[in-house]
Amino acid sequence: MLYLQANHLSGLIPSSIRNLSKLSSLGSIPKEVGQLSSLMVLYLYENHLSGSIPSSIGNLNKLFDLELSTNNITGFIPEEVGQLSSLMVLYLYENHLSGTIPSSIGNLSNLSDLELTTNNITGSIPKELSDLEPSTNNITGSIPKEVGQLSSLMVLYLFENYLSSSIPSSIGNLRKLSDLKLSTNNIIGSIPNKAGQLSSLIVLDLYENHLSVAITLRCYSF
């Protein structure tokens, strides 16, 4: 295993890394990374890496943990990320990623933790997503009603965006949700009564929105 996180790496990673065919954990990201069929963990967080995420990363069907956070990575999140069928953790926060969240991420049936905070991501939230933490971006539109189908969702962070419309009543179906942060948006309307069904909820942040109806405390158990 090779871990290179929390350094000051910059410049180019040698393409000869592709010759390490038996490497199961890697701390670098050249385009040749897609040839490492045994790679399961890729840690590159807290460096000064720049450039974009290579589309070849989609070839790593054994990869279950991809952490590229706190770098200077630019460009879009490649659609090919949706081919990482074993992926459980995807950390891309604190970079300079732009564009929209690819709907292909919704194909990642094993994904339990997705963090995209503090980037320059725009557009709306794809209804296909299985776990949501794209806060502090420039996301617009509404929270899709399909969020209520995400039965394993435990954390929903959408704060500091430009979301509008109301909170969908389907959010009450998320019985495992423990942390819900929707603050600093343009959300309107009232808190749906079905939010009282969130029996696992510990944290609820809704401040700095345009909610208009008073909360009936007896509806909530958290």
| All structural domains of the chain with their residue ranges | 15-219
How sure is the predictor about 76, in pLDDT bands with cuts at 50, 70 and 90?
A: very high
Measured distance CA(221)–CA(198) in Å, rounded: 8
- The structure tokens listed for 211 are 């909610």
- Within 10 Å of residue 171's Cβ, how many Cβ atoms? 23
Asked whether the beta carbons of 31 and 60 are under 8 A apart, the reply is: no
Nearest to 7 by CA among 85, 71, 65: 71
How sure is the predictor about 120, in pLDDT bands with cuts at 50, 70 and 90?
A: confident
What pLDDT shows up at residue 217? 46
What pLDDT shows up at residue 38? 87
Least confident of 57-66, 120-129, 149-158, 183-192: 120-129
Least confident of 45-49, 189-193, 197-201: 45-49
Measured distance CA(66)–CA(27) in Å, rounded: 10
Measured distance CA(40)–CA(2) in Å, rounded: 12
CA Rg, the chain, in Å? 19
Least confident of 78-87, 97-106, 139-148: 139-148
Least confident of 64-73, 123-132, 192-201: 123-132
Nearest to 85 by CA among 137, 26, 40, 49: 40
What pLDDT shows up at residue 215? 53
Q: Tell me the range of 3-12, 30-39, 196-205 where mean pLDDT is highest.
A: 196-205
- The structure tokens listed for 44 are 């590159």
What pLDDT shows up at residue 60? 92
User: What SS3 class is residue 132?
Assistant: strand
What pLDDT shows up at residue 114? 76
What pLDDT shows up at residue 30? 78
Q: Give CA 174 to chain center in angstroms.
A: 18
pTM: 0.62
Measured distance CA(85)–CA(108) in Å, rounded: 6
Third-level CATH fold of 15-219: 3.80.10
Could you list the beta-strand ranges (E) of 92-201.
Answer: 96-99, 113-115, 120-123, 138-141, 155-157, 162-163, 179-181, 188-189
Could you list the beta-strand ranges (E) of the chain.
Answer: 25-26, 41-43, 65-67, 74-75, 89-91, 96-99, 113-115, 120-123, 138-141, 155-157, 162-163, 179-181, 188-189, 203-205, 210-211
